[in-house]
Amino acid sequence: MRLSNPIALLCAALALVLAGCSGGGDDLVRVVFIGEPGELEESGLRLSPAGQHLRAATAEGLVALDASGGVVPAVAERWVVTDDGLSYIFRLRNSAWDDGEQIEAEEVRDELRTVLRRLQGTSLGRDLAKISEVRAMTGRVVEIRLTSPLPDLLQILAQPELGLRRGGAGMGPMAASRTEDGWLLEPRPPETRGLPEDPDWDERIRQVFVRVLPAREAVAAFDAGQADLVLNGTLANLPLADVGALSRGTVRLDAALGLFGLRVRSDEGLLADAARREALAMAIDRPQLLQPFNIGGWVPTTRIVAPGLPDDIGTIDERWSDLSLEERRALAARRIAGWLGEGEGRIARVTLALPPGPGSDLLFARLADDFAAIGVALDRVDDPEQADLVLVDRVARYGAARWFLNQFACPLRGGLCSPEADARVEEALSAQNAIVRAALYAEAEAELAASNVYIPIGAPIRWSLVRGGVQGFQENRWSIHPLLPLAMRPI
């Protein structure tokens, strides 16, 4: 990936230096992702949030996500879906690779097939398991065939990992150049991407500089005027957003869809029995758990699959709704006491791995109090591989039960799992009827819930710091904030 010419690169570098000295200007938008600096890479298939955004900016797929999280045309200018939902036919726009050669359907087909093979063994690969064939029909038409309808296929194809590349280089809406501590991105003129020419393009756009910093440094950079936008904030570091930054910008919360809870990794001792694992889940006071964070609108849940999704047929309810918190804890305490009384030397103690940060400290303190209420001591460890429980904090890629269930598939080996739940999900691969598929997913969720291999808490928290002059930022449930809209100058 490179800027269009050496002169542009020199000017961009000079602008970057001047912006760093002066606190920024109209010609540069400075974006910081919270994380570790090594995460700002867009190679491979397991991308960090920063890597996902960089990949999406430099290598478009057939479709992409816009600032609101909606699916929009990308390499494909339009598409049709057959009445049975088993075939998606994409018409490619008249665009070229970075070296000027035309993008042909055969190349797109081959790249998609390669990506699908490489994704096998990942949760995203499981999401795409219904694809049975990718065909090049003519020079600019590609067909994707499915084993059964997948209403969320376009949303999945819009994921950054499905960006099309040739020889490791993609043709995205932005050209990128590596700097010492980040990436400098320049929007490509629309006519280079097979789109109508915009005579005012140079006046409408500006460059974007992207880097990754630990949470405290990211917030400090924003507070000092050295960053216009901070992305990928989580509950672990949310308290830092209140330290000075509010005087210079705004904390924005995505109403994210996904998983936030505890995955059980150990099947020994106290956690060997599903009923005792359930005891831990029953002990948590979910409505009060995040009270110290003062997050308006956050809704706790005891369900694994987010309630109210389009394929939710209403057969799975919130758990223990007929019991008060005190009644739940009394039942849970009896189970723990019964296990302790069955053998000498037993200790009701479990370990939990959380990411570092003041938010994690608050969360741990609350969970420790909840578990103590049923006679279980909670210890914190740094290494997830050595923990009995690990925090799952993950934003969904699309809004269907299948995504949630795929996160706990046994082949992924992220912790305890349910082969019975996997079997129901596998059955749904070939089910043609939407109601039948939804019923199979409900059965799979019920199997997972009964096994108590995951303790749901609620939806994940994602926050950003956004300066007033930044255009193109919108909250959305996928916590994806494309870089190209951020490059637009304020009107």
Instruction: Give the chain's domains with CATH numbers.
Output: 1-58+172-256+461-491 (3.40.190.10), 60-165 (3.90.76.10), 259-458 (3.10.105.10)
Query: Has residue 5 got a pLDDT over 60?
Result: no
The pLDDT score that the predictor gives to residue 337 is 97
H or E element in which residue 131 lies: strand 131-138
Task: In whole angstroms, give the CA distance from residue 303 to residue 241.
Answer: 29
- Strand pairing class (250-254; 462-466): antiparallel
The pLDDT score that the predictor gives to residue 43 is 57
pLDDT class of 21 with cuts at 50, 70, 90: very low
The pLDDT score that the predictor gives to residue 194 is 84
Full DSSP string of 154-198: HHHHTSGGG--EETTEE--SEEEEE-SSSEEEEEPPGGGGTS---
Tokens of 170: 């993609």
- The mean pLDDT of the chain is 90
Q: Could you tell me if residue 86 is left (phi over 0), alpha (psi between -120 and 50 degrees) or otherwise beta?
A: alpha
- Average of per-residue pLDDT across 88-116: 92
Sheet holding 131-138, edge to edge: 76-81, 87-92, 141-146, 131-138
The pLDDT score that the predictor gives to residue 161 is 94
pLDDT class of 12 with cuts at 50, 70, 90: very low
In sign, the C-alpha dihedral spanning 261, 127, 150, 103 is positive
Closest listed residue to residue 142, CA positions, set 172, 114, 108, 117: 108
With 0-12 / 13-18 / 19 or more C-beta atoms within 10 angstroms meaning exposed / middle / buried, residue 248 is middle
- Beta carbons of 278 and 339 less than 8 angstroms apart: no
- Average of per-residue pLDDT across 337-366: 95
Query: Has residue 7 got a pLDDT over 60?
Result: no
Full DSSP string of 196-244: ---TTHHHHB-EEEEEEE-HHHHHHHHHTTS-SEEEEE-GGGGGGGGSS
| Residues making up the chain, counted from first to last | 491
- Average of per-residue pLDDT across 237-258: 79
pTM, rounded to two decimals:
0.91
Q: What are phi and psi of 400, to 5 degrees?
A: -145, 155
- Average of per-residue pLDDT across 58-62: 94
Tokens of 226: 């050295």
Closest listed residue to residue 388, CA positions, set 260, 261, 264: 264
Sheet holding 174-178, edge to edge: 174-178, 183-187, 207-213, 28-34, 229-233, 462-466, 250-254
The pLDDT score that the predictor gives to residue 95 is 87
With 0-12 / 13-18 / 19 or more C-beta atoms within 10 angstroms meaning exposed / middle / buried, residue 114 is exposed
Give the residue, 361 or 17, on which the prediction is more confident. Answer: 361
- Beta carbons of 13 and 188 less than 8 angstroms apart: no
- Average of per-residue pLDDT across 282-293: 94
Query: Has residue 20 got a pLDDT over 50?
Result: no
Least confident of 125-129, 249-253, 277-281, 480-484: 249-253
The pLDDT score that the predictor gives to residue 37 is 77
Full DSSP string of 394-428: EE-SSSSHHHHHHTT-GGG-SS---HHHHHHHHHH
Task: In whole angstroms, give the CA distance from residue 229 to residue 24.
Answer: 12
Closest listed residue to residue 211, CA positions, set 383, 335, 91, 38: 38
High-pLDDT (> 70) share of the chain, %: 92
pLDDT class of 385 with cuts at 50, 70, 90: very high
Task: In whole angstroms, give the CA distance from residue 424 to residue 440.
Answer: 6
Highest-confidence segment of 171-180, 240-249, 273-282: 273-282
Query: Has residue 279 got a pLDDT over 70?
Result: yes
Q: Which residue has the tokens 């930054």?
A: 245
Query: Has residue 103 got a pLDDT over 70?
Result: yes
The pLDDT score that the predictor gives to residue 478 is 97
